[in-house]
Structure 1
């Protein structure tokens, strides 16, 4: 016998609790199944803990620069990693507990602890108990991808999940990967006082960004004392005392040996779809394991949707929440919202942060359209100068004929916030002249966006 619900949500990550609340508010019975921690990646191993750690690392970095601001500190800046960890843990646990309390107070909502597996298209089993519903939502998230590299299985490596549980400082952290997760941890631990080496198999960091952005990011990290090894097409690992030896070669270079105390593997993410029995429900996935969905997040099986990191449509907390908004609007509000309505937007949380929206310069150039581009170094932004944080630059690209804003990248102080003014303009389908003629507050970083737009030149 199965216990019947109006809806079952598998996974209590970003989209799950909010969707459960909509079913509860509609007077329907909903089960939300979670095999580990309520809150998913964002609350437990992603955004909240990592940005809390980033904040502690920034405080240490700023303290070391105190003399530049005329502030006198007695003695060297020290790091108490146990206090750093405790602060991170408090932020995570407060958020997790808040979500658990919210779910526990929803009428008609049952939180089921355990691992869900399909037994039929609209029936799952959780630790021997069978649950069924005409509507099922997959919100199972993702995990770190671990490549098959020589010797890696024979060492105790870290992933983004295990590194946030460290309450001690690595002597030498070797980071495998050169993209967003990898670089945030690399800078963070360098600022905590660890020696850090980043190893990337590609020719540059952050490969999805324009080359000028990648190079600026590399310069920022190198200036802080991070060793960056690019073009590392050959890697192998071996235990070395209490640590690990990493052999790196590529591009015809002789192999070098790097001795580290810890290794962080941060080369990408894979969806948690391989152990759900999707075949029992007839749910199709792509080559990477993402659940195949249409523009309204419906899977290939009637009555089953996929939201968040497991559908390959964004893999960010904000896109996961937008997935919830799309599904909820279409189910409860007679809406017609679609994934294709949203504009690419994300951030890299090194310091200074990168805010990125829309198309890159390279994508616009490949499209062949007539475009204008504006650039401005942060050294020419008064607010950045006043704060003593002038690393990076910003750029915007627009369509020369339609005047539509095509994309922007702001690598600089406040870049993750400033970029939203341009993003809102894109959603409003406003011409770039709307922002160019806007009067912004002085002194801010945002006030130089209209100036940058006014100085645009043809993209060649």
Structure 2
């Protein structure tokens, strides 16, 4: 016996239990697969190490939006005088902010458990790993194990926050998004490494709670992959809210400990400088959860970057084994993991559903929001695609004027040789909801004129599409774009 086997009692049953479907991980695509096939009478088991329902309802999307909403309320209180409301200061209690978020998470977990019960899918809280093709071992908290073999197996183990090799970084015990959502005290000075979605959402929220914030990013712009007008608008927002941004900054070393005192040394334009803070948050990317789960014995290959290798049908290199969501290299959004479920559902039942060519909408939940679907101008130019650009400020949207929330803009790219909408970007209040209206039009292959001429409710934010598509476009030729 191995030392591991000697360490605790083990289930002596050697023949694996047979299932129609065994799923490792319980994220977006995983749980939908479990509930769907179990409700159809199949025998389904889900092995989940810690978070019922995956990261989204527990430690990511929904908890962060809960905290962001509280921060927006704090912003309204600070601005109470604008609304004619007398408010002579206020005190923030981070433990109450945290507890409100925890109540929401508990409610979501209860909903998930009820759906497992009603569907008939078996949820096994355990650490899982492959021990043979299509066969997994589940190590339960009481020290026993179970072996399960599936006619089909799904890997949906997600990703985790990357803590880079910068000297002193790991020793500083920095916050990731998980620990940041559990703070019961307000950081005096929060240093954030990373100018992407997670870093920017936390930067604004914590600033509105009252922290001093410094964002460090190695790129020359926040959200550097987006169009110039987007990066400029985001920088202007952060400047106005008193958030310090140090860009083109390479982190050289970290000393101290997050939560007490921490110093980050950066190099910027060839000059070294040190930033001292009370807390440090790392938001510099994600690493797939593929280590230690026995993929090699299962015949499942990885990509050079460590993700599970899949084809456009989400099949891995092992027969009968599939991968969904972030661990498969899919775009890192819950809604994409849920779409991966549809791809798997159709293909495992004999269809041919592929991931290529699908739309990938996203929304950054700063205030105001940034949302995009389809091509950006940078992408169109890089691909040499000619387009007509429609663009209006949010001040042209009457509902935004009524709210007096006119920061930002709407813009759309339309093909020059047809009336097809190529892409849409909104930076403004309610941007995610407005984007969805355009996305539905794109899904239906509607011409841009259909949105221009539609009867839209007044006064709504979506009504701003009238102003957008009634504006005079500028034409960007493919030849100019390539130059």
Could you state the TM-score of these two structures normalised by the residue count of structure 1? 0.96
Q: Helix, strand or coil for the counterpart of 1:105?
A: helix
Looking at structure 2, the residues matched to 163 and 391 of structure 1 have their Cα atoms a distance apart, in angstroms, of: 28
Q: 1:189 aligns with which of 206, 219, 237?
A: 206
Say which of 1, 4, 9 aligns to 2:23. Answer: 9
Residues 114-173 of structure 1, C-alpha deviation per residue, up to 9 Å, x if partnerless?
111111111111113211112000111111011111211221210011111111111110
Q: Give the Cα–Cα distance (whole angstroms) in 1 for the partners of residues 24 and 409 of structure 2.
A: 42
Distance across 2 between alignment mates of 1:44 and 1:219: 32
Which residue number in structure 1 is paired with residue 5 of structure 2? none
Decide whether the 8 Å contact of 2:396 with 2:467 is kept in 1: no
1:278 shift after superposition:
0.6
1:342 aligns with 2:354: no
Rounded Cα–Cα distance in structure 1 between residues aligned with 2:94 and 2:187? 10
Deviation at 1:271, TM superposition (A): 1.2
Q: In 1, distance between residues paired with 2:106 and 2:132? A: 35
Contact 2:251 2:264 in 1 (8 A): no
Shift of 1:341: 4.4
Alignment of 1:113 onto 2:125: yes
Corresponding residue for 2:450? 434
Report the Cα distance in structure 2 between the residues aligned to 1:222 and 1:150, rounded to whole angstroms: 30
Structure-2 change in CA distance of 1:297 and 1:146 (3 Å):
same
The residue aligned with 1:383 is 399
- The answer to whether residue 329 in structure 2 is matched with residue 312 in structure 1 is yes
Q: Does the aligned pair in 1 maintain the 2:163–2:170 contact within 8 Å? A: no
Q: 1:218 and 2:231 equivalent?
A: no
| 3-state SS, counterpart of residue 384 of structure 1 | helix
Instruction: Decide which of 67, 71, 89 is 1:76's aligned counterpart.
Output: 89
Residue range with higher mean Cα deviation, 428-437 or 59-68? 428-437
Matched residue, 2:62? 48
Asked if 2 retains the 8 angstrom alpha-carbon contact of 1:186 and 1:198, the reply is yes
Taking the aligned partners of 1:359 and 1:275, their CA distance within structure 2 comes to 38
Please report how far the alpha carbon of residue 451 of structure 1 lies from its aligned counterpart in structure 2 after TM superposition.
Answer: 2.3
Q: Contact conserved, 2:22 with 2:44, CA < 8 A, in 1? A: yes
Q: What is aligned with 1:149?
A: 166
Distance 2:303 2:236 in 1: 37
Report how far residue 370 of structure 1 moved. Answer: 2.1
Secondary structure of 2:28's partner? coil
Matched with 1:248 is 266
Partner of 1:173: 190
Whole-angstrom CA distance in 2 between matches of 1:17 and 1:366? 38
Q: Does 1:58 align with 2:103?
A: no
In 2, distance between residues paired with 1:185 and 1:234? Answer: 19
Unaligned segments of structure 1, at least 5 residues: none
**Partner Cα distance (1:141, 1:402) in 2:** 40
| Distance in 1, Cα, partners of 2:251 & 2:40 | 56
Tell me what 2:6 maps to.
none
Q: Give the unaligned 5+ runs of structure 2.
A: 1-14, 140-144, 478-483
RMSD: 1.5
Contact in 1 for aligned 2:397/2:467 (Cα 8 Å): no
SS of 2:119 mapped into structure 1: coil
Match among 104, 116, 138 for residue 117 of structure 2: 104
Query: C-alpha deviations, 1:327-361, integer Å up to 9, x for none?
Result: 223334x5433212421210101000011101111
Residue 183 of structure 2: SS of its match in structure 1?
coil
Paired residues, what number?
456
For residues 459 and 271 of structure 1, the distance between their equivalents in structure 2, rounded to whole angstroms, comes to 39
TM-score of the aligned structures, taking structure 2 as reference length: 0.92
Aligned equivalents of 2:255, 2:357: Cα separation in 1:
48
Can you list the C-alpha shifts for 1:394-444, whole angstroms capped at 9, x where unaligned?
Answer: 111011112211111101000011011111111111221221221211112
